[in-house]
A and B are shown apart, each in its own frame.
Chain A
Amino acid sequence: MVFKSFSISTARSVWIGVLWIVNIGLAGCVNVAPWERGNLAKPQMELDPHPLQSEIQSHNYSSREAAPSHKSSSGGGGCGCY
């Protein structure tokens, strides 16, 4: 990786790292029994309750903004050269 000009990249990396550690740390102390997971299984609690809508949104954002699309791991998308 060649990062040319990350003036505040160190601070950010630390921040990202902390968040990860917090996330992993949470894993150990949570205990939700299987019969308590009814709410979690509802459609409105899905990570992406409207995948068709997200696809459209991210396609439009990525043709109008410079940040990478969150769908970019699936590839494609074309030029968007307009």
Chain B
Amino acid sequence: MQHDNASQCLSDDRLNNSEAPSIKSKKTLHALTSAALVLPGLLMSSAPATGKDRVNFQYSRYQEGERNLFGAPNSLKPITADVLHGSGIFSLTDRAKFSFGYTQDTWSGATPVTITPLATTGGNRPYTDGGVVVGASPILNSTVLLDRDLNPIGRDPLTKELTGAVDPRSVLVMTSASPETRRQANFGLSYEWNEAALNVSGGFSRERDYKSSFGAIGGRLDFNQKLTTVKFGGGYTSSDIGAILDHDSSPYITKTAYLPQIVRRENSEILRGERQDWVANVGVAQVLTKNALLDTNVGYTHSSGFLENPYKAMSVIFIDPGDLNNRQLTSISGDVRALLEQRPNIRNQVALNTKYIQYINPLNAALHLGYRLSVDDWGVNAHTFDASWVQPLGNGWTLTPRIRYYSQDAASFFRPYLFSQQRYTTQEIDSLGRKVWLDSNNRSIQYVGNDQFNLFDQNGNPVDGFNVVPKNVLFDAAKLPENFSSDHRLAGFGALSGGVILSKMLGKGVALETGFEYYTRASSMQIGGGSTSFADFDYYVANAAIKFDMEPVTSLPMGASKTSFESHAHASSHHHHKIPPAGIMFGHMLDKPGDFMAGYRFMYNWTGGHMMHGAHQVNDQTIINQGCQGEPCRFVPTFMDMRMHMIDLMYAPTKWFNVMLMPTFMDMDMNLRRLPGAPPAAPGVHEHTGVAGHETGAVGDTYFSSLIKLIDIPGHRVHVNLGVSAPTGKVDIKLRRIAKNDGGLIHFGMQLGSGTWDFMPSLTYVGEKSRWSWGAQFSGVKRLEEKNKSGYSLGDMIQATTWGGYDLMHWLTTTVRGAYTWQGAIHRDFDAFNGRIGPMDFPSNYGGEFWDIGVGVNAIVPQGRFAGNRLGFEWIQPVRSDFHGFQLDRQGALSATWSYHF
């Protein structure tokens, strides 16, 4: 952390040319010597817990381009992923630091399930609406016509008619996924000695189908007057896979190799597996000259267990050996079947990383050059070259262009598809060479005989007059390769990417950073060159981050600038008005012109338990009959969780006027249950089966606000807030198409925003006297548009709330609050297809009147390292609800806030 202060000081000097030369050189010398004393920090900047105390928030969006389906219709939206990241590092003592991180990503979109020849009768099979081709369904099992050299004979990708010419092209078979969310949390502790450091870290990652926990230990030792640093580390990850096999495609995928690992729960098949990853690495960072350094490390990864991607299948083309041997045939029919991929159960990887960094004196820039070689026993050898140029531009701006090239060889068991010279199924032959048949009325009874009119029972007695069917057995798995995968990540390819990072120090310890990268993958870019292009694609990633530096008091003497000391002193000596409970938004203002506040607000809203009608519980039959506006309801929600992450940025241009910007990130999940006695699905309706529910998550609406102080007398303050909500959250999230039916728009409550511009005014009064504080707020939401892009608008809202607080300590306040909320029902309806399967799909089943009690605590850290940090928690307990229509009961809500004044 200290070297950062020093370098900050250096660049401040460079900017501040008007300063007297003597002062400047003195400061520079101070900075240089302190930089030298703390150099090791620089050599371990990638360690999780170094640097100054800091909180980061970052949002990133990944957007993939469309895959090339060679003329087959491609109506599926490409993959997108929205990633929210928050992390922080805090000093516990002079030498010990604690770090944490939280990452949440939600992805959805089109993903390849297998690869087939383009010339099959299946693959991406077009479907029509009103005679017009509007999309394609993934057809995994099909046939392909082959010439005698097993080259596919082409078919038109739309009509599937034979063209007569050989077509060697392969194509990805695309399926789509409804949104899924992953959450990861990690924690770390580090301890520094003068010439060494040690850190331990751990965490977990959770998805519906994949859970992993990990731990790591690492450290460094400095030698040679800190010109050489040796780094070492090791880690272990344990993962549990419980892949819910797609109920739409699973019946068409052959899973015989995994039968012992598949369990059934409700209507779902779950493929279970475990996986372990061990990593170890050791490295050296070496200062070469006063302007250059080199960093090298070697890493080893050992993975074992279930290393497959449980959603990827290999297309195996089964060929009847009789057809092959029949010289009369000019073409052969291949039976295309999808088999779950089979990877080796062990993988060993070794990677060598080298990085060279050169300071470019005339430009005050740094050139970073990296090379990485990785080899493994799957045959995937990869080279990565990357270069970046870090260019400070003055006034706190830094621009970093970057370029990267990557090339990998294919895994030894990668094939786009396989041939197998045997039939997929054949009639079983008994030990005497006779065909086996089954009684079609009782399949446990077997007969043998060479044709169905000449049969014998188990005792060898001739029988007659039965209806029999052949007893078929599956192919001989021993004739297939032991391992096979057509996952295009294991193919040979090259990738070129480039991007730029722009960052800006705003002063007062706040920095903004944004990055953009474009990535293009092509098999022809592989070193040595590839020829197939079926898996080529591109993506871009854009992200924005905000970073807050918080300087602990004890770090000040070393190289700290005057301004940072002042700002900190200000933060800790500030007279703190008591802040309202955590669930109150827009509840306080900054007092001094130029003040800046950054904060994070988390809100969790839980609905579950009984279905309600008005203020009373309602039984399932009534819901079926009345809940869906004349149509019979078939499903109700069993629970729904909504989480909102909000960044609060507040600035005071004057003491009576504050502005606020609050970007939000939402994620939700919901499970449904089928109502007993409900009628079957109408044709063409998204049908829920199995254990998987629905998840959505991404950017929500963004709030802008102006706060105006009306009254500010000792003990009493009143301010008005004029806020606007911009419709940045999506309202057109769809469920994926399954079983030849469009999923349609997901339920209103699972969409991420209002979709309309909304006016959000509020009037807040707060009072305080000695240990007591109190307040009241009236707030509302008025939708400014009649309908959003999906055709509806959420209901308006009015809330009145009042609270009282008492200081248990001078830094700790407890609050009790009562709130009344009225919300209108949804206006209009979706103007696009929605499944209308339950009450949550009908506009009149939203809104109501609600009474709540909130209990909370607020804390402000008065002194020490974390001085100036404010924390608040509040639990909102529903007391009474009077719902519009039929809704799931409310269980409560949690608000948690953190804020810091600069």
Please measure, in the bound complex, the distance between the C-alpha atom of A30 and the C-alpha atom of B228, giving whole angstroms.
Answer: 9
Chain A residues lying within 8 Å of B489, measured Cβ to Cβ, are: 64-66
Please measure, in the bound complex, the distance between the C-alpha atom of A16 and the C-alpha atom of B243, giving whole angstroms.
Answer: 39
Please measure, in the bound complex, the distance between the C-alpha atom of A17 and the C-alpha atom of B398, giving whole angstroms.
Answer: 37
Decide: A44 near B390, CB < 8 A? Known: A12-B375, A74-B235. Answer: yes
Point out the residue from A9, A30, A35, A64 that lies within 8 Å of B287, measured CB to CB. Answer: A30
User: Is the pair B212, A76 in contact by a Cβ cutoff of 8 Å?
Assistant: yes
Which residues, 40 to 78 on B, are CB-close (under 8 Å) to A?
42-46, 48, 56, 58, 60, 62
Chain B residues lying within 8 Å of A38, measured Cβ to Cβ, are: 10, 28, 31-32, 35, 290
Contact flags A37-64 to B (C-beta < 8 A → 1, else 0): 1111111111111111111110111001
Decide: A26 near B294, CB < 8 A? Known: A45-B42, A78-B182. Answer: yes
Asked if B438 is an interface residue, CB under 8 A from chain A, the answer is: no
Please measure, in the bound complex, the distance between the C-alpha atom of A61 and the C-alpha atom of B503, giving whole angstroms.
Answer: 23
Least CB distance from B487 to A in Å reads 9
Asked if B521 is an interface residue, CB under 8 A from chain A, the answer is: yes
User: Is the pair B366, A73 in contact by a Cβ cutoff of 8 Å?
Assistant: no
User: Is the pair A40, B42 in contact by a Cβ cutoff of 8 Å?
Assistant: yes
Size bin of chain B's contact surface: 35 or more
**Interface residues of A, count at CB 8 A:** 62
User: Is the pair A67, B384 in contact by a Cβ cutoff of 8 Å?
Assistant: yes
Decide: A40 near B39, CB < 8 A? Known: A49-B390, A68-B374, A76-B205. Answer: yes
Chain A residues lying within 8 Å of B241, measured Cβ to Cβ, are: 79
User: Is the pair B288, A49 in contact by a Cβ cutoff of 8 Å?
Assistant: no
Mostly, the B contact residues are strand
Chain A residues lying within 8 Å of B378, measured Cβ to Cβ, are: 66
User: Is the pair B365, A81 in contact by a Cβ cutoff of 8 Å?
Assistant: no
Please measure, in the bound complex, the distance between the C-alpha atom of A18 and the C-alpha atom of B806, giving whole angstroms.
Answer: 69
Asked if B523 is an interface residue, CB under 8 A from chain A, the answer is: no
User: Is the pair A27, B209 in contact by a Cβ cutoff of 8 Å?
Assistant: no
Which residues, 1 to 53 on A, are CB-close (under 8 Å) to B?
1-6, 9, 12, 16, 19-20, 23-24, 26-28, 30-32, 34-53
Please measure, in the bound complex, the distance between the C-alpha atom of A72 and the C-alpha atom of B36, giving whole angstroms.
Answer: 31
Decide: A53 near B515, CB < 8 A? Known: A1-B302, A30-B287, A70-B353. Answer: yes
Please measure, in the bound complex, the distance between the C-alpha atom of A25 and the C-alpha atom of B274, giving whole angstroms.
Answer: 43
Chain A residues lying within 8 Å of B184, measured Cβ to Cβ, are: 76-78
- Identify the stretch in B1-9, B607-615, B660-668 within 8 Å (CB) of chain A at 4 or more residues: B1-9
User: Is the pair B348, A2 in contact by a Cβ cutoff of 8 Å?
Assistant: yes
Asked if B309 is an interface residue, CB under 8 A from chain A, the answer is: yes
- Identify the stretch in B355-363, B465-473, B634-642, B751-759 within 8 Å (CB) of chain A at 4 or more residues: B355-363
Asked if B354 is an interface residue, CB under 8 A from chain A, the answer is: yes
Asked if B779 is an interface residue, CB under 8 A from chain A, the answer is: no
Please measure, in the bound complex, the distance between the C-alpha atom of A28 and the C-alpha atom of B60, giving whole angstroms.
Answer: 44
Please measure, in the bound complex, the distance between the C-alpha atom of A53 and the C-alpha atom of B60, giving whole angstroms.
Answer: 10
Point out the residue from B4, B29, B298, B408 that lies within 8 Å of A67, measured CB to CB. Answer: B408
User: Is the pair B296, A76 in contact by a Cβ cutoff of 8 Å?
Assistant: no
Chain B CB within 10 Å — which of A40, A43, A45, A78 has the most?
A40
Decide: A73 near B495, CB < 8 A? Known: A27-B286, A41-B3, A66-B490. Answer: no
User: Is the pair B286, A26 in contact by a Cβ cutoff of 8 Å?
Assistant: yes
Point out the residue from B56, B62, B411 that lies within 8 Å of A60, measured CB to CB. Answer: B62
Chain A CB within 10 Å — which of B36, B233, B361 has the most?
B36
Decide: A20 near B296, CB < 8 A? Known: A39-B290, A50-B400, A53-B543. Answer: yes
Asked if B791 is an interface residue, CB under 8 A from chain A, the answer is: no
Decide: A74 near B48, CB < 8 A? Known: A19-B296, A45-B42. Answer: yes
User: Is the pair A75, B45 in contact by a Cβ cutoff of 8 Å?
Assistant: no
Asked if B532 is an interface residue, CB under 8 A from chain A, the answer is: no
Least CB distance from B647 to A in Å reads 15
Please measure, in the bound complex, the distance between the C-alpha atom of A67 and the C-alpha atom of B730, giving whole angstroms.
Answer: 35
User: Is the pair A73, B355 in contact by a Cβ cutoff of 8 Å?
Assistant: no
Chain A residues lying within 8 Å of B87, measured Cβ to Cβ, are: 52
User: Is the pair B209, A68 in contact by a Cβ cutoff of 8 Å?
Assistant: no
Chain B residues lying within 8 Å of A81, measured Cβ to Cβ, are: 209-210, 243, 309-311
Chain B CB within 10 Å — which of A61, A72, A76 has the most?
A76
Chain B residues lying within 8 Å of A57, measured Cβ to Cβ, are: 517, 541
Asked if B33 is an interface residue, CB under 8 A from chain A, the answer is: yes
Asked if B201 is an interface residue, CB under 8 A from chain A, the answer is: yes
Least CB distance from A31 to B in Å reads 8
Asked if B560 is an interface residue, CB under 8 A from chain A, the answer is: no
User: Is the pair B234, A73 in contact by a Cβ cutoff of 8 Å?
Assistant: yes
Chain B residues lying within 8 Å of A60, measured Cβ to Cβ, are: 62, 517, 519, 539, 541
User: Is the pair B46, A47 in contact by a Cβ cutoff of 8 Å?
Assistant: yes
Asked if B291 is an interface residue, CB under 8 A from chain A, the answer is: yes
Which residues, 328 to 355 on B, are CB-close (under 8 Å) to A?
346, 348-349, 351-355
Least CB distance from A82 to B in Å reads 5
User: Is the pair B299, A26 in contact by a Cβ cutoff of 8 Å?
Assistant: no
Chain B CB within 10 Å — which of A2, A28, A41, A70 has the most?
A41
Chain A residues lying within 8 Å of B298, measured Cβ to Cβ, are: 16, 20
Given contacts A27-B224, A67-B351, 6 further A-B contacts (CB under 8 A): A9-B375, A43-B4, A55-B85, A56-B85, A64-B519, A70-B372
**Could you list some 5 contacts between A and B, CB below 8 A?**
A20-B284, A30-B289, A37-B35, A67-B384, A77-B212
Task: Enumerate chain B interface residues (CB-CB to A < 8 A).
Answer: 3-4, 6-7, 10-11, 28-29, 31-33, 35-39, 42-46, 48, 56, 58, 60, 62, 79, 83, 85, 87, 107, 109, 111, 177, 182, 184, 186, 201-205, 207, 209-210, 212, 214-216, 218, 223-225, 227-228, 233-237, 241, 243, 277, 279-281, 284-291, 293-296, 298-302, 309-311, 346, 348-349, 351-355, 357, 359, 361, 364-366, 368, 372-375, 377-380, 382, 384, 390-392, 398, 400, 406, 408, 411-412, 489-490, 495, 501, 503, 513, 515, 517, 519, 521, 539, 541, 543, 545, 547
Top 3 A-B pairs, shortest CB-CB distance: A75-B214, A34-B36, A41-B35
